[in-house]
Chains A and B, each alone.
Chain A
Amino acid sequence: GIQVEQSPPDLILQEGANSTLRCNFSDSVNNLQWFHQNPWGQLINLFYIPSGTKQNGRLSATTVATERYSLLYISSSQTTDSGVYFCAVSYPHAGGTSYGKLTFGQGTILTVHP
């Protein structure tokens, strides 16, 4: 099956700093999502980004599908950004169709200190 690797595994920042999280995947994908899991365990959708670039406030994401990676940028980090960031992908099933079966990376644990 497809492999998803996230880096770094852990990241500690001071409030106000910028960061880049990376997601590498081993095969062609037709769905890529970034999630933030908050300290209460809720998985929050950040971006649905199988290709291209999107921005939402202080967060932005870029997926270069041909090179099999995605980047999540966090600018001016805040303590509320702390948590685990997951990248998840799905890929075309045999026969060319895909039903959105997601494979998650192991996550990046982000801690933002005040």
Chain B
Amino acid sequence: GAGVSQTPSNKVTEKGKYVELRCDPISGHTALYWYRQSLGQGPEFLIYFQGTGAADDSGLPNDRFFAVRPEGSVSTLKIQRTERGDSAVYLCIPGGTDTEAFFGQGTRLTVV
């Protein structure tokens, strides 16, 4: 299975607002990835954590996006000054080296 719990499942926010999306891995994987899937596209990599540190944040689209994982388990993706183009499904998955990725339902973010 997906191995994570993401909350909220759906979030509607107004343009310009700040949002936080939470990812709670069920099992104790050291690695955690965030992806987002915009309508009509495949998922795109955002950021990868190894433990508490962001090992690769090259997929974050701009500085309005930030993610943390302070204790190496739960991770929060933070989006400031949301724009309509941020509307997407945000997915997080646990993982390790060359393991098969299993995606859950994610959080559907709608910016109006």
Chain A interface (Cβ < 8 Å from any Cβ of B): 30-31, 33, 35, 41-43, 45, 48, 50, 86, 88, 90, 97-107
Closest Cβ neighbor of A6 among chain B residues:
B42
- With A41-B89, A105-B42 in contact, is A100–B97 under 8 Å at CB? yes
Q: Which of B31-52 contact A (CB under 8 A)?
A: 31, 33, 35, 41-45, 48, 50
Which of A31, A43, A45, A50: most chain B CB closer than 10 A? A43
Contact of A99 among B35, B43, B89, B97 (CB under 8 A): B97
Known: A86-B42, A106-B41. A99 touches B55 (CB 8 A): yes
What is the interface residue range for chain B against chain A? 20 to 34
Distance to closest chain B CB from A28 (angstroms): 13
Task: Return 11 A-B CB contacts under 8 Å, by A number.
Answer: A31-B100, A33-B101, A88-B42, A98-B97, A99-B48, A99-B97, A100-B95, A100-B99, A101-B48, A102-B33, A103-B45
Contacts of A97 in B (CB 8 A): 97
Question: Is the pair A104, B44 in contact by a Cβ cutoff of 8 Å?
Answer: yes
* Contact in complex: B100, A98 (CB < 8 Å): no
The answer to the question of B20 belonging to the interface, with a C-beta cut-off of 8 Å to chain A, is no
Q: Which residue of A lies closest to B103 (CB)?
A: A43
Which B residues are closer than 8 A to A by beta carbons?
31, 33, 35, 41-45, 48, 50, 55-56, 89, 91, 95-103, 105, 108
Contacts across chains A and B counted by CB atoms under 8 Å? 62
A contact patch SS: loop
Minimum C-beta distance from A20 to chain B (A): 19
In the docked arrangement, what's the CA distance between A26 and B33, Å? 23
C-alpha gap A42/B6 in the complex (Å): 14
